[in-house]
Amino acid sequence: MTAQRSVLVTGASSGIGRSACLLYARRGAAVLAMARTGDRLRTLVEEIRAAGGRAAFAVGDVGRRADVREAVALAAKEFGGVDTVVANAGFGIYSDVASITEEDFDSIVRTNVKGVLWALQESLPHLRAARGRFGIVSSILGRAAVPYSALYCMTKHALTALADTARLELAKDGISVTVVGPGLTATDFQSNAVSRVGVVAAPDNSVGWPVEKVAARLVSAVERRRREVYLGLAGRSLIWARNRFPRLADWGIRRWMQQFEKTLPKKGG
Ligand SMILES: NC(=O)c1ccc[n+]([C@@H]2O[C@H](COP(=O)([O-])OP(=O)(O)OC[C@H]3O[C@@H](n4cnc5c(N)ncnc54)[C@H](OP(=O)(O)O)[C@@H]3O)[C@@H](O)[C@H]2O)c1
């Protein structure tokens, strides 16, 4: 990667996005970091600049199209264009299907789906000019679904469909679309998630892959214009079992679910 490269990363204030920014900068790319928390972005940019890299930040909400437009414009102004976008911003909601509210549905779709679509649409003129790369941070749960995470799984499945269609339509412009689906990763994802069932319906994030390892695989997949990359044997096995032996997969997931349900707070208690 040369020093002329310019990358926009959403959800850059923590976790996978932050780590990807540091890695891109180390590889010589100019980085435009976007998220809602300005002080964290400022610290990140200072860290990159102190190490001799080029970076700027845009405070904004990916669910607001105007904020995404401003971030893209800033990257173009500061670095002369955008040739790579990593649409990474996202969060989780744990809820049982029967209790899903319209408010939760709208809020997760706004960030996890619309935020990715706005990033793609707003950066398209630059990506076309650069025959660039568009990376989407999805999840293992973009290809397999688990109980109490229907909302999150729906948004990540939607990203698979968005990527599949965008990849076909944009190939003529030389733009690659890469989906990276991490498994459990050691970030603040679960503490930033909303739970309507009183607990986090997943294994603890801290036992997941180190965030630097996930970011390295993400950056490499986007750079190599890979199509879809799912990380970790456990997650890939889940997708494989779900596709090949769905009843067996359901049986395994139900066993996990029964254990998990014992930890749920008693209703009305
Ligand atoms: N950790 C895992 O186990 C795991 C597994 C599979 C997939 N993923 C995916 O990886 C991505 C990154 O998550 P993470 O694990 O790094 O969690 P994280 O540490 O909570 O990071 C989420 C990032 O997204 C930003 N963000 C959230 N809502 C936003 C909004 N509306 N507008 C702009 N930025 C927003 C957050 O910053 P602000 O709050 O400052 O805006 C933060 O920088 C997500 O898409 C997630 O679904 C994570």
Helix, strand, coil content of the chain in percent (nearest 5): 55, 15, 30
As given in the structure block, the two tokens for residue 134 are 């568009």
Whole-number pLDDT of residue 3: 44
Strand partners, 30: 6
Q: What is the pLDDT along the chain (269 residues), one digit of tens a residue?
A: 554 699 999 999 999 999 999 999 999 999 999 999 999 999 999 999 999 999 999 999 999 999 999 999 999 999 999 999 999 999 999 999 999 999 999 999 999 999 999 999 999 999 999 999 999 999 999 999 999 999 999 999 999 999 999 999 999 999 999 999 999 999 999 999 999 988 776 778 888 999 999 999 999 999 999 999 999 999 999 999 999 999 999 999 999 888 888 888 776 54
Whole-number pLDDT of residue 261: 84
Q: Where are the domains positioned within the chain?
A: 6-233
Level-2 CATH architecture, domain 6-233: 3-Layer(aba) Sandwich (3.40)
Whole-number pLDDT of residue 268: 52
89 ligand 1 Cβ < 6 A:
yes
192 ligand 1 Cβ < 6 A:
yes
The rounded radius of gyration (Å) of the Cα atoms in the chain is 18
- Whose C-alpha lies nearest to ligand 1, atom 41? 36
Number of the ligand 1 atom closest to the C-alpha atom of 192? 20
Going by C-alpha positions, the residue among 8, 42, 41 that lies closest to residue 24 is 8
Whole-number pLDDT of residue 267: 61
As a dihedral over the C-alpha atoms of residue 14, residue 20, residue 22, residue 25, rounded to 10 degrees, the angle is -140
Whole-number pLDDT of residue 216: 98
Q: How far is the CA of 269 from the centre of ligand 1 (A)?
A: 32
Within 8 A by CB and 6+ apart from 121, the residues are: none
Whole-number pLDDT of residue 206: 81
Cβ-count burial of 77 within 10 angstroms (0-12 exposed, 13-18 middle, 19+ buried)?
Answer: exposed
Tell me which of 68, 189, 239 to substitute to probe ligand 1's pocket, judged by most ligand atoms within 8 Å of the beta carbon.
189
Whole-number pLDDT of residue 203: 73
132 ligand 1 Cβ < 6 A:
no
Q: Which residue has the tokens 């214009």?
A: 225
Give the type of residue at 164: D
Q: Is 152 a catalytic residue?
A: yes
Whole-number pLDDT of residue 145: 94
Cα–Cα distance measured from residue 130 to residue 225, given in angstroms and rounded to the nearest whole number: 14
State pTM to two decimals.
Answer: 0.96
Kindly list the strands in the beta sheet with 30-35, ordered across the sheet, starting from the edge strand earlier in the chain.
55-59, 30-35, 6-10, 84-87, 133-137, 176-181, 228-230
